Structure 1
Amino acid sequence: MRLAQTTTRRLAGSAAVLASAVLATALSTSAPATAVEAAAWAPADTAEITPGVQMYTDGAQCTGNFVFSDGAGNTYVGYAAHCAGTGAATDTDGCDAQSLPLGTRVTFARGGSLVSGGTEVGQGTLAYSSWLTMQQRGETDANACAYNDFALVKVDAADVSKVNPSMPFWGGPVALNTDGSAAGESVYSFGNSSLRGGVEALSPKQGASLGADGEGWTHPVYTVTPGVPGDSGSAFLDAEGNALGTLSTLALAPLAGSNGVGDLNRELGYAQQHGGIGGLALVPGTEPFSPLL
């Protein structure tokens, strides 16, 4: 989780950061991505790498959001760019914040907690970071610098057979949300913080959008319960089951307890335009969206 001094806190962190959290209480709009047909995915009920999988990067734990593919047939899992950050939780400007380089290894895991990294279920490589890309380009859009917090981990070829693109519990995503969210619209998420001790029954969250900020780059939301350290990067669906965004921050003020959700349409559009991955697109889930608790 990112923290902007008095307003927001990052949701990623090392085991030490997570432990202290327990003790203390984490462009322009591009054309929509085209859904990609998958040759074969693992069955949703047995897949080990899905939206909501825990992702460990140099000791920091985050939550995977959606599955993506490219024109060469590679498979990616998204998470927050700050999950590979090397600075403090107060580093919120992606155009200045430091990050591990592309090529950094990332571990997919299940059941991680404060005392254990859980069971490793696969490996991948950091293949795109909005932070690194914006710095390389000399990005000057203040909203992009503040809210474009998106990265892609390329799943190792040996582990692609373990992947399913459906969100646990909720199903979907149906497609990419291209028109944002209005205040009061229902949202759905699945965070998998180590703070929950590997109990995924605590992961599904439902709430409401507060609209959009940053000229559409971010959506403040309230959910029950709010995202906490380790939930960083997790997926948000809109009321129709479309992929709305990715969890980035926890607000301390003025909307205490709300989360900042990066707009996936803008984040993915930026990656498509500047990330150097040809044919990059969201992969829809194999399971229908089911918003009933």
Structure 2
Amino acid sequence: MRTNRLLTALAGAALLATAFLAAPQATAANTWAPAATAKIHPGTMMYTEGAQCTANFVYTDGSGNAYVGYAAHCAGTGTATDTDGCQAGSLPLGTRVTFNEGGSLIDEGTVVGSGTLVYSSWVTMHRLGTTDANTCAYNDLALVKVDAADVSKVNPSVPFWGGPTGIDTDGTAAGDRVWTYGNSSLRFGISQLSPHTGISLGDDAADGGWSHPLYTVSPGIPGDSGSAFLSTDGKAIGVLSTLGLAPLPASNNIGDIAKELAFAQAHSGISGLTLVNGTEPFDPVL
């Protein structure tokens, strides 16, 4: 979740405050920055009215606009324990968001780009009057449209690991490996602590495939919310959302990206919305 709210969540052990395959290369309207020098990418810090989360994936639309995703609760206006997106408050669409590097508890680091919140699953579920409990609990995706002046700074590859190579649509089984890159300001810019890997705890059929509980070493911490998770073949599985109590303490729950993106495609009004594959091959070196 947002850093300033997740500190409260961790204290209560309730919430981590915090289809559709795209071409592996840039769209005709976009030429991605080289992965090694791109300033905006999966894993970039994102600040919304002072609260910090982590970017997950890059997305495009039919017109070639570029979007970066994070968790919808990163723009939430309630408390750290507000996990029901159909009930919790949110900042409005049109809210400005910055992409930063080097942020910490002391300051927000350096702004490397800007964008506008143009889609929030929370705002959308409010508008639609969504009542399905699993959708309300786990549909936690927002999209920030990158300013035209900053699109040339974007690359869709996940740092350290590479990928994504597509979108996972069959969930996870107990013991499946997962890979992620969190970028919490609580790590004080120590990039070596950002890439980590973990193990799925097995999906629960009761939630309709909306959530994937897992355990990572080290666990996701405040500010990691919204970050991307990849499968053993580099496919996008989900977006970091909550901190769980069971079956293991400090386990994490990620929202299913295939379901979250399908919901956005149906209700965002963004024509041709797709998740973009990385330009760098997936390489799970750990």
Q: 1:18 offset after TM fit, Å?
A: 4.6
TM-score calculated relative to the size of structure 2: 0.93
Match of 2:216 among 223, 229, 247: 223
Task: Work out the percentage of aligned pairs sharing the same amino acid.
Answer: 65
Structure 2 unpaired stretches of 5+: none
Match of 2:239 among 243, 246, 262: 246
1:150 paired to 2:141: yes
Q: 2:119 is matched with which residue?
A: 128
User: In 2 relative to 1, CA 215–94 (structure 1 residues): closer, same or farther, beyond 3 Å?
Assistant: same
Describe the superposition over 1:99-129 as per-residue Cα deviations: whole angstroms up to 9, x where unpaired.
Answer: 0000000000011000010111000000100
Q: Residue 13 of structure 1 aligns to which amino acid in structure 2?
A: T
Q: 1:94 offset after TM fit, Å?
A: 0.3
8 Å contact kept, 1:18–1:195: no
1:92 paired to 2:83: yes
Match of 1:56 among 47, 57, 77: 47
* Cα distance in structure 2, aligned partners of 1:118 and 1:86: 23
Structure 1 unpaired stretches of 5+: 1-10, 27-31
Q: 2:273 is matched with which residue?
A: 280
Structure 1 consecutive aligned stretches of length 4 or more whose deviation exceeds 6 Å: 19-22
1:234 paired to 2:221: no
Q: Residue 81 of structure 2 aligns to which amino acid in structure 1?
A: T
Helix, strand or coil: the match of 2:112? strand
1:34 paired to 2:27: no
1:12 paired to 2:2: yes
Q: 1:141 offset after TM fit, Å?
A: 1.1
Q: 1:269 offset after TM fit, Å?
A: 0.4
8 Å contact kept, 1:68–1:283: yes
Q: 1:220 offset after TM fit, Å?
A: 0.3
Q: Residue 64 of structure 1 aligns to which amino acid in structure 2?
A: A
Q: Residue 20 of structure 2 aligns to which amino acid in structure 1?
A: A
User: In 2 relative to 1, CA 155–17 (structure 1 residues): closer, same or farther, beyond 3 Å?
Assistant: same
Q: 2:129 is matched with which residue?
A: 138
TM-score calculated relative to the size of structure 1: 0.91
Q: 1:290 is matched with which residue?
A: 283
1:45 paired to 2:36: yes
* Cα distance in structure 2, aligned partners of 1:195 and 1:210: 26
Deviates more, 1:102-111 or 1:33-42: 33-42
User: In 2 relative to 1, CA 200–115 (structure 1 residues): closer, same or farther, beyond 3 Å?
Assistant: same
1:175 paired to 2:166: yes
Q: 1:34 offset after TM fit, Å?
A: 3.0
* Cα distance in structure 2, aligned partners of 1:87 and 1:228: 19
